[in-house]
Homo-oligomer: A and B are copies of this chain.
Amino acid sequence: MKIAIITIGSELLNGSRLDTNSKWIAQKVLPWNGEIVSKISIPDTDQDIINTLNYYISQSLDMIICTGGLGPTHDDITAKTLYDYFKDTPIFDDDYWYILKGEFKKRGYDISNLNKSQAYRPSIGKIIPNTIGTARGLHYKKKNTHVIVLPGVPAEMKLMMKTTVLPMIGDLSKTSTSFKMYRTTGIPESHLYEKLLPLINKYSEVDIAFLPSFLGVDIRISSKINKDFDKINNQLFLIIEDYYYADNEIELEEVVAMLLTDTNLSIATAESCTGGLIGDRLTNVSGVSNIYKGGVIAYSNQMKINLLNVKESTISQYGAVSEQTAKEMAIGVQKKFLSDIGISTTGIAGPTGGTNKKPIGLVYIGFHYKKITKVYKFNFRLDRKSNKMITSQAALNIIRKHLL
């Protein structure tokens, strides 16, 4: 089914905000056979909204998803404009206003009278519930086009898509697309492409797409013909098995947490160049306290020595960014935290601090578990944040591979 996205708000046009919502929506509607045929960003004026709705409705699309402009301030005019557009008379919703007041109170704020505008509900249209924010969504229909209105706040938009809009798209679609995504890390896109080329040539009815980022390549396989879909997936999996870590949107830290839980092993982190990022990623996973004991962010040499028992002579002889230091950090943190596994990072994140012998992007990752102590060396050569991020990815992947 054909879908257009309208994102409403000047912040998307004046260079203040990057629109990440549209990409997310495009990915999510795909398995339900939804196809984004166009997306447009417009300012929050009623005339722009009306013109754009008319333009898209004239193209007889199946659905238009609008986001943004549902907040409480003067430039949030989406709801009012839609009420007028659909000749609807909104009703003040006393029950919802009561709930809103309670929510604000719980958070320690007095509610502003401005928020009253968010307590109206349509008479003709339907409400789309929002369980984590104040702005509820709207659902109208004109000719054969469903018009959906959601807040622009990503967390709220995503939850409302998942609970209401995606199931609606599923109901409305007549055909389905078979679809699967494989996440890989540790191999460049071009090598992956070469490995999969025979498969791509053999099954032309199947679409194999590569979605590369600097952390890895996601492979998306989709087909409108169900025949052979499992067979192709099995063949593809055998080719990418060494690099594959998860399906769909599952993050590497979730896979690692699951493997640690399954094997009943605990871990501790000794982070220098990643500065806490591995701990942060692991603790993004709920329930991780059973397997993650914690860690030390050993940003200074003295703390590597004091807290992780790295030998002073090791640092003076080999430097803080060295195989030897990484090794002692991994052993030290495992002992200090009484965990099963210790993992460590030390490297030069940049943009300063690089030398000819130790360039920016040089990273050592130490792994220690019982009698296994290994250090892995990398040369990432990216910017500071990306060097940190890819180091955390490599460290998590090292843990994953050891646990398999």
Interface residues of A (CB under 8 A from B): 10-20, 22-28, 30, 35-43, 48, 55, 71-75, 106-109, 112, 114-115, 132, 153, 155, 181, 188-191, 193-194, 200, 209-214, 218, 220, 222, 269, 271, 273-280, 282-284, 286-289, 292-300, 302-303, 306-307, 336-338, 349-352, 379, 381-386, 388
Smallest Cβ distance from A324 to chain B, in angstroms? 20
A379 and B107 contact, CB distance less than 8 A? yes
Contacts of A214 in B (CB 8 A): 153, 155
A191→B112 contact, CB < 8 A: yes
Task: Please tell me if the beta carbons of A190 and B72 are within 8 angstroms of each other in the complex.
Answer: yes
Are B193 and A73 interface neighbours, CB within 8 A? yes
CA of A326 to CA of B197, assembled, Å = 56
Find A303's partner among B25, B43, B294 (CB 8 Å cutoff): B294
Q: Can you list 26 A-B contacts with CB-CB less than 8 angstroms, sorted by A residue number?
A: A13-B37, A13-B39, A14-B26, A14-B30, A14-B222, A15-B23, A15-B24, A16-B209, A16-B218, A16-B220, A38-B48, A73-B190, A74-B193, A109-B188, A132-B382, A271-B276, A273-B283, A275-B282, A275-B292, A276-B283, A286-B351, A294-B296, A294-B297, A295-B299, A296-B296, A306-B336
* A209 touching B279, Cβ below 8 Å: no
Q: Which residues of B sit under 8 angstroms from A381, Cβ to Cβ?
A: 106-107
Q: Is the CB of B280 within 8 A of A72?
A: no
B299 touches A289 (CB 8 A): yes
Q: Does the CB pair A155–B280 fall under 8 Å? A: no
Q: Are B17 and A211 in touch, CB under 8 angstroms?
A: yes
- Which of A194, A278, A279, A292: most chain B CB closer than 10 A? A279
Measured CB to CB, the closest approach of chain B to A289, in angstroms, equals 6
CB-based contact B276/A75 at 8 Å: no
What residues on B are CB-neighbors of A289 within 8 Å?
A: 299-300
Distance (Å) between the CB of A217 and the closest chain B CB?
Answer: 10
Residue of B nearest to A41 (CB): B39
Distance in angstroms between the alpha carbons of A132 and B384 in the assembled complex: 13
Chain B residues closer than 8 Å to A277, beta-carbon distance: 276, 280, 283
Cα(A297)–Cα(B296), bound, Å: 6
Please name the residue on chain B nearest to A338 by beta carbon.
Answer: B302
Assess whether B297 is in contact with A295, with CB atoms less than 8 Å apart: yes
Shortest C-beta distance, A81 to chain B (Å), equals 16
CA distance A275 to B285 in the complex (A): 11
Please state if B307 and A155 are interface contacts (CB–CB under 8 Å): no
